[in-house]
Amino acid sequence: MTRTTCLALVASIVSAACLVGAGVLVVAAPHTASAEDRPVATAAASRVERKADLARPSTPDQVVSGALDTPALADAVPFAYAGDSITARPDSWLHQLEGDDRLHAVGGYAHSGYRADQVLAEIGPVPQARVLVVEVGTNDVNQAVPLDRTIANVDAIVRKVGAERVLVVAGPPSDWTWSRWGADRRSGQIVLTDALHADADSHGWAFVDPFRALRAADGAYRPGTSPDGIHPTAEANRSVAAAMATAIERTAS
């Protein structure tokens, strides 16, 4: 074998070894996401996050407490309120009644997102109220609180406030048939309303369903009456407020 042939053979062996080594390295190397991979993963994650945001409606932290400084006639009906966001929101029935001088909110407590037990913990006695309006329970339904516990807290609110008369309010409609706590909010509101009505009857209290004009046959909101499937629109609250005003005056008489 000549020297030239020997050198060529060595070079051939070295090249083959390099190719094999490179092949082993490529096969054995773990896959790392490339720049092309990452946007796909990020887009998928964003879709999941957006879906989660849509699936979890939230209510701003809104509170109303104590007497409302509104014009009132000398013989205006003094009433107290116990409620959640249906009562506490800026366009709620309570605020829509601020211009009605036949009624005067003399005390109470309402907090968006609060269950009946939470309202009970914050509200104080309002013995000067001729009527107590109790609008609670929708967040109990949302959080799958046992119905008997909700009713017990409603009764405790009534005892604590100490008003002369009581007006219990039906649960509102709901477009949502589920919640993070695994509750069917729509059917739950219907069950709550029946229980509140029965509780009011058992105590001799008044009962009102001011949402009749807003509620569809299946318990959802009628189209155009709710911005989020949970609360009435400002326009819809006008009819709620009118029904509440009539019910408060009737309860007081």
Per-residue pLDDT averaged across 110-134, rounded? Answer: 98
For the chain, what percent of residues have pLDDT higher than 70? 76
pLDDT tens for residues 190-201?
Answer: 999 999 999 999
Beta bridge partners of 80: 107, 132
Question: What pLDDT, on the 0 to 100 scale, is given for residue 219?
Answer: 97
Per-residue pLDDT averaged across 149-175, rounded? Answer: 98
Number of domains in the chain: 1
Handedness of CA 154, 209, 171, 50 (dihedral sign): negative
pLDDT tens for residues 233-244?
Answer: 999 999 999 999
Please indicate, yes or no, if residue 105 is contained in any of the structural domains. Answer: yes
Please indicate, yes or no, if residue 116 is contained in any of the structural domains. Answer: yes
Question: What pLDDT, on the 0 to 100 scale, is given for residue 138?
Answer: 97
Beta bridge partners of 184: none
Is 80 exceeded by the pLDDT of residue 52? no
Separation of alpha carbons 174 and 221, rounded Å: 6
The whole-model pTM stands at 0.77
Please indicate, yes or no, if residue 45 is contained in any of the structural domains. Answer: no
CATH number of the domain encompassing residue 116: 3.40.50.1110
Handedness of CA 173, 61, 123, 181 (dihedral sign): positive
Question: What pLDDT, on the 0 to 100 scale, is given for residue 57?
Answer: 53
Please indicate, yes or no, if residue 25 is contained in any of the structural domains. Answer: no
- Mean pLDDT lowest for which of 56-65, 169-178, 220-229? 56-65
Please indicate, yes or no, if residue 111 is contained in any of the structural domains. Answer: yes
Average pLDDT for the chain: 83
Is 90 exceeded by the pLDDT of residue 131? yes
Please indicate, yes or no, if residue 214 is contained in any of the structural domains. Answer: yes
Residue 244, CA atoms < 13 Å, CB-side half-sphere: 31
Question: What pLDDT, on the 0 to 100 scale, is given for residue 58?
Answer: 58
Is 60 exceeded by the pLDDT of residue 18? no
Question: What pLDDT, on the 0 to 100 scale, is given for residue 160?
Answer: 98
* Whether the Cβ atoms of residue 182 and residue 142 lie closer than 8 Å to each other: no
Per-residue pLDDT averaged across 52-58, rounded? Answer: 46
Separation of alpha carbons 12 and 136, rounded Å: 87
Please indicate, yes or no, if residue 31 is contained in any of the structural domains. Answer: no
Q: Which domain holds residue 209?
A: 63-252
Separation of alpha carbons 205 and 165, rounded Å: 7
Is 50 exceeded by the pLDDT of residue 81? yes
For the chain, what percent of residues have pLDDT higher than 90? 76
Residue 207, CA atoms < 13 Å, CB-side half-sphere: 16
Please indicate, yes or no, if residue 32 is contained in any of the structural domains. Answer: no
Per-residue pLDDT averaged across 43-69, rounded? Answer: 58
